[in-house]
Amino acid sequence: MPNIKAITTDRPGRPSSASPQARRQSALRKNSVGICVMLLAQYGLGMGVNLYAQVPAADRGAGLAAALGRALTSEPAVLAVHAVLGLLMLVAGVSVLTRAVFARHRRAIAASAAGLAAIIAAAVSGAAFVSNGQAGASMAMAILTGVALLCYVLILFATGAPAAIPRVTRS
């Protein structure tokens, strides 16, 4: 009979040789990459809304909460997609911050807290833009999106390259 060797992997439901800390940092890096992709998509959508979509006149001067509600439920559709992605990014930002805290990585905690604050401020600026149409609010949204993106990219550098997970063979 041949000698059969088992290899453990890092797939869900199977035992892993990686330490819990390595798994936490890997999850933090994956969430950081995910939110970076979301921020880039949001940045593109925001440019499209700013250049090509007309915010309905009924949304002007309505206040921040009403502006968000109308953006989610009315035309143009690209504005609704932009608002939904913004809300999802708030959830993702909280997730990255939570993972940074569990990983006990101080630089990642600081960067993710700053990134989440930038996302929140961008959301407030977006609601202000829908409410009053001021170009400054749109510019603030763009700058804050860039700041948030920078924060989450910094997490990737701060956590270092992903560690190679050793394969364990058993005889």
Give the pLDDT confidence of 18-51 residue by residue, as tens digits: 688 888 888 899 999 999 999 999 999 988 888 8
Burial (0-12, 13-18, 19+ Cβ within 10 Å), 28: buried
Strand stretches in 47-93, DSSP E: none
Instruction: Tell me the mean pLDDT in the region 38-66.
Output: 78
Domain extent at residue 102? 28-162
Segment among 55-59, 77-81, 129-133 with least mean pLDDT: 55-59
Q: Has residue 93 been placed in a domain?
A: yes
> Which has more pLDDT, 60 or 84?
84
pTM: predicted TM-score of the whole model, two decimal places? 0.78
Q: What is the pLDDT of residue 58?
A: 59
Q: Has residue 171 been placed in a domain?
A: no
| Strand partners for 6 | 170
Q: Has residue 137 been placed in a domain?
A: yes
Q: Has residue 9 been placed in a domain?
A: no
Q: Has residue 14 been placed in a domain?
A: no
For 116, half-sphere exposure in the C-beta direction (CA atoms, 13 angstrom radius) is 17
Domain count, the chain: 1
Q: Has residue 168 been placed in a domain?
A: no
Burial (0-12, 13-18, 19+ Cβ within 10 Å), 78: middle
